[in-house]
Amino acid sequence: MTYLHTLTIPTPFPVGPVNCYLADGDEPTLIDTGTNDPAALAALREQLRSHGLALADIRRVVVTHAHLDHSGLAARIVAESGARVLSHERNRWWLTDFEREWERRYRFYAEVLRQSGAPPAFAEQLGPRLEWMKRLAASVPLASLTPIDDGDALVLGGETWRVVFAPGHASGLICLFEPHTRTLISSDHLLRDITSNPFLEPPARGESARPRALVQYIASMQKVARLNVRRALPAHGEPIDDVRALVDARLAFHRQRLEYIERQLDSGARTAFELCGILFPNLKPQDLLLGLSEVIGHLDILESEGRVRREESDGVARYAPFGKAR
Ligand SMILES: [Zn+2]
Ligand SMILES: [Zn+2]
């Protein structure tokens, strides 16, 4: 696939660099951007230059999902190039009204910490960290956004790719699939060396329930498995050549983790924060939301299968085995 190039852009996050993909041709297209910071911008400019392009040459930016390492530089690229931004409808407000969307998420995560039973010190640490992260993205003009959805065609380097909506890791996540070579640009949906976190998100604007991220994620995994992918190009780490085996391994991992979490409730009801401490005893405070997303994702499934029940008192949720008293 001579028209598709991997650009490796540093991020300030523990996950390490993000793989952005450049499709050259008549309409140079960048898939994901890196965060809005000088190191990422310099790396992006330099790597584009090695393919004979400047930032101003980019015609389209595909944002696979509403996370900072994927969307952060979109505004900068649009400002310099006038590029169109293609992304799922679910990412509209994140992309075009970023500050407000970020504030909304901040309030949501503060509430998640409270309901999870995390000590107030954790909530106090959340503010400065989210304030720092807020600088890593900016809004693109609404007029530059073109929504794309499942099944839509996208021509890259003369080949027709299909949009594959795969919510879970993020509620608006899309992958891109090229059926002749069976290549999938898998974003954070499928990573070779780490499991994709089903990251908690607030309800979409106009909706009242938050997405059940892990429920969505598992359905999306099964959907991607049906594509019979030959090679996946992920947003972090190396390409994946044994997609089917990896999907099976991920599904088995989640089944085991469901059972493990269920067993932890045998001795009595627990909060998500307590379960997080059992599952990840060495978790750093700044990673608490990742840990809670993992735990709550599994509790959502256990609850929907009638295996646990959630009861709330004084604003804190506890989970107990279904049918057993506390
Ligand atoms: Zn992500
Ligand atoms: Zn990522």
pLDDT in tens, 154-199: 999 999 999 999 999 999 999 999 999 999 999 999 999 999 999 9
Average pLDDT over residues 247-262: 96
pLDDT in tens, 12-37: 999 999 999 999 999 999 999 999 99
Whether 215 shows a pLDDT value over 60: the answer reads yes
pLDDT bin (cut points 50, 70, 90) of residue 324 is low
Scanning 90-230, the segments in alpha helix (DSSP H) are 92-96, 98-116, 120-134, 213-225
- The alpha carbon of 284 and the centre of ligand 2 are apart by a number of angstroms equal to 19
Which residues have their alpha-adjacent CB atom under 5 A from ion ligand 2? 69, 188, 235
pLDDT in tens, 58-102: 999 999 999 999 999 999 999 999 999 999 999 999 999 999 999
* Residue linked to tokens 């004084």: 314
The answer to whether domain 260-321 has CATH 1.10.10.10 is yes
Contact call for residues 249 and 203 (beta carbons, < 8 A): no
CATH topology of domain 4-96+136-248: Metallo-beta-lactamase; Chain A (3.60.15)
* Residue linked to tokens 């503060």: 110
Average pLDDT over residues 33-53: 98
- The alpha carbon of 262 and the centre of ligand 2 are apart by a number of angstroms equal to 29
Write the DSSP symbol of residue 90. G
Strand partners, 158: none
- The alpha carbon of 196 and the centre of ligand 1 are apart by a number of angstroms equal to 8
Question: Which phi and psi angles does 284 have, rounded to 5°?
Answer: -75, 145
- The alpha carbon of 162 and the centre of ligand 1 are apart by a number of angstroms equal to 20
Mean pLDDT, the chain, whole residue set: 96
Q: Which residues of 184-213 are buried (b: 16+ CB within 10 A; e: fewer)?
A: bbbbbbbbbeeebbbbbbbebeeeeebbbb
Question: Which phi and psi angles does 6 have, rounded to 5°?
Answer: -95, 125
Confidence (pLDDT) at 125: 87
- How many whole angstroms separate alpha carbon 216 and alpha carbon 61? 25
Whether 152 shows a pLDDT value over 80: the answer reads yes
What's the pTM? 0.96
- The alpha carbon of 267 and the centre of ligand 1 are apart by a number of angstroms equal to 35
Average pLDDT over residues 254-273: 96
* Closest ligand, as measured to the CA of 237: 2
Give the closest residue to 86 by CA, choosing from 9, 158, 27: 27
* Closest ligand, as measured to the CA of 173: 1
pLDDT in tens, 195-212: 999 999 999 999 999 999
Contact call for residues 232 and 239 (beta carbons, < 8 A): yes
Longest dimension (CA), the chain: 67
* Closest ligand, as measured to the CA of 191: 2
* Closest ligand, as measured to the CA of 13: 2
Q: How far, rounded to the nearest angstrom, does the alpha carbon of residue 298 sit from its chain's CA centroid? A: 17
- How many whole angstroms separate alpha carbon 26 and alpha carbon 7? 19
- The alpha carbon of 269 and the centre of ligand 1 are apart by a number of angstroms equal to 31
Confidence (pLDDT) at 326: 47
C-alpha distances out from residue 169 to 102, 164, 173, 250, Å: 17, 14, 7, 13
- The alpha carbon of 14 and the centre of ligand 2 are apart by a number of angstroms equal to 11
CATH 3.60.15.10 domain locations along the chain:
4-96+136-248
Give the closest residue to 222 by CA, choosing from 242, 250, 201: 250
CATH 1.10.10.10 domain locations along the chain:
260-321
Confidence (pLDDT) at 322: 84
- How many whole angstroms separate alpha carbon 286 and alpha carbon 15? 13
- The alpha carbon of 169 and the centre of ligand 1 are apart by a number of angstroms equal to 6
